[in-house]
């Protein structure tokens, strides 16, 4: 036996079977539906929603949704899709760069294809997803999309020139106005790590950004007494007064925990790596202990730093972040040869995946239920294109385990 070889993952049959069922759903139902019904071939971009019959719902096209669908198209072949996706990437990228990009290099909030008007408002959340999508497309074919690193860097430079915060992170308006939000910074860390992985040159810029957001999270976004990341802050990165400043989302505990683990794996020499891993594991454990309803088996929407639930409804997306978190916990445990912890984490990942599959059992093959109410009933809603990114990123993370 080669003691230097990476540990072999055990063939947990429940996990392997559950993951295979999920992957098959994506390849035979979800991607075929969204690559046809979800694409607007006449006016450009991607539709925001599909209705109860699986037909497109017309709304202004947001940068975040075009970006998320680009990620899905860029990832499909890695998940086993046998067809070509280049036309979808070119189609979506054209809309992102030519309709949604502002003259100053930032990205608009949305574009209305009916009146041809761009909402040029600066939203940090939209910038984060535009950067993330550019990284995903570039990574899918570095030769065909060799121009994208320069575009991403120019966007980041404009953000830093216009909205950089002295304590780390970014303002969201000029002149600065409260509140500042944790959520877009979480996705900015996601984008920075995507570029750090995708870009063969100049990775230092993205490493510095990832380090900056991680430091912000550890020093300002984390509520030390509870161990939870909260959502809303004043202009000095202090939690807002009152109930709003103590709001936490279980889905974001899982998502931040996953991202901090990803950062730690990407930055093994960083002096705060061990701290980030400990914080990440605590976030994930707290998300499971405080934010998962044992009766319905779902991660709920919102709680307070006191652990009390505020919104017991359960959207789809927190279920996917729960999967990502426990899959990566399992991966790190296997690397450390801690098979008991790895087995525990993989069991929780399997349970979370089985929960997600309940959402995916929709009358329209390839669509899903967006939210389960507090009484365990599905809420009647259109299927949101934005949720597919959450499903696919979780599936991609799951499929990487053991490779």
Question: What is the pLDDT averaged over residues 313-319?
Answer: 98
Q: What is the pTM of this model?
A: 0.96
Q: Considering the domain delimited by 26-400, tell me its CATH architecture.
A: Alpha/alpha barrel (1.50)
Per-residue model confidence (pLDDT) at position 153: 97
3-22: average pLDDT: 72
Is residue 148 pLDDT above 70, yes or no? yes
| Buried/exposed 60-71: b ≥16 CB within 10 Å, e otherwise | bbbbbbbbbbbb
Would you give the end-to-end CA distance of the chain in angstroms? 19
Strands (DSSP E) contained in 134-225 are: 180-181, 222-223
Q: Cβ(398)–Cβ(82) under 8 Å?
A: no
For 338-352, the DSSP string reads -HHHHHHHHHHHHHH
Q: What number is the average pLDDT over the span 247-273? A: 98
Mean pLDDT over each residue of the chain, to the nearest integer: 95
Mean pLDDT over 31-52 rounds to 97
Work out the pLDDT band at 3, boundaries 50, 70, 90. very low
pLDDT digits (tens, 9 = 90+) for 348-385: 999 999 999 999 999 999 999 999 999 999 999 999 99
| Span 81-127, pLDDT tens digits | 999 999 999 999 999 999 999 999 999 999 999 999 999 999 999 99
Residue 11 scores a pLDDT above 80: no
Q: Are strands 298-299 and 292-293 parallel, antiparallel or unpaired?
A: antiparallel
pLDDT value, residue 13: 86
pLDDT of residue 7: 46
Instruction: Name the helix (H) or strand (E) containing 229.
Output: strand 228-229
In which band, very low, low, confident or very high, does the pLDDT at 199 lie, cut at 50, 70 and 90? Answer: confident
H helix intervals, 43-176: 63-75, 86-98, 124-140, 148-163
How large is the average pLDDT for residues 38-56?
Answer: 97
Average pLDDT over residues 167-191: 97
Confidence of residue 2 (pLDDT cuts 50, 70, 90): very low
- Distance, CA of 284 to CA of 299 (rounded, Å): 12
pLDDT of residue 12: 74
Q: For residue 104, give the 3-state DSSP assignment.
A: coil
- pLDDT reported for residue 402: 67
Residue-level pLDDT at 131: 98
Per the rule left: phi > 0, alpha: psi between -120 and 50, beta: everything else, 169 is left
Contact 88, 39 (CB under 8 A): yes
Q: What is the pLDDT of residue 129?
A: 98
């Amino acid at each position: 036996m080669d003691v230097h070889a990476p540990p072999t993952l055990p063939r947990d049959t429940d996990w392997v079977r559950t993951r295979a069922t999920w992957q098959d759903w994506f390849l035979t139902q979800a991607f075929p539906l969204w690559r046809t019904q979800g694409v607007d071939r006449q006016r450009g971009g991607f539709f925001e929603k599909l209705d109860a019959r699986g037909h497109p719902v017309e709304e202004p096209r947001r940068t975040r949704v075009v970006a998320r669908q680009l990620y899905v198209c860029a990832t499909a072949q890695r998940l086993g899709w046998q067809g070509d996706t280049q036309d979808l990437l070119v189609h979506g990228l054209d809309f992102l760069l030519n309709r949604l990009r502002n003259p100053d290099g930032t990205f608009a909030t949305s574009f209305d294809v009916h009146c041809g008007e761009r909402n040029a408002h600066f939203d940090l959340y939209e910038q984060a997803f535009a950067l993330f999508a550019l990284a995903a497309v570039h990574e899918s074919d570095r030769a065909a999309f060799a121009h994208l690193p320069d575009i991403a860097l120019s966007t980041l430079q404009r953000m830093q020139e216009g909205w950089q915060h002295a304590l780390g992170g970014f303002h969201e308006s000029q002149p600065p106005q409260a509140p500042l939000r944790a959520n877009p910074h979480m996705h900015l860390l996601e984008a920075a790590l995507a570029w750090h992985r995708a870009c063969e040159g100049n990775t230092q810029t993205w490493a510095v950004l990832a380090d900056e957001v991680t430091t912000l999270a550890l020093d300002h976004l984390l509520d030390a007494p509870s161990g939870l990341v909260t959502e809303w802050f004043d202009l000095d990165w202090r939690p807002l007064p009152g109930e709003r400043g103590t709001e936490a989302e279980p889905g974001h505990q899982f998502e931040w925990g996953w991202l901090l683990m990803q950062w730690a794996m990407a930055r093994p020499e960083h002096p705060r790596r061990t701290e980030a891993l400990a914080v990440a594991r605590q976030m994930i454990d707290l998300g499971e202990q405080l934010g998962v309803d044992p009766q319905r088996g779902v991660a709920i929407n919102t709680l307070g730093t006191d652990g009390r639930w505020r919104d017991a409804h359960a959207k789809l997306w927190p279920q996917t972040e729960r999967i990502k978190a426990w899959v990566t916990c399992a991966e790190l445990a296997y690397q450390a040869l801690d098979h008991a912890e790895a087995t525990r984490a993989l069991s929780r990942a399997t349970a979370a995946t089985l929960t997600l599959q309940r959402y995916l059992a929709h009358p329209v093959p390839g669509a899903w239920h967006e939210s389960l109410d507090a009484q365990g009933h599905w809420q009647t809603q259109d299927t949101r294109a934005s949720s597919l990114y959450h499903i696919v990123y979780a599936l991609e993370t799951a499929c990487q385990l053991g490779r």
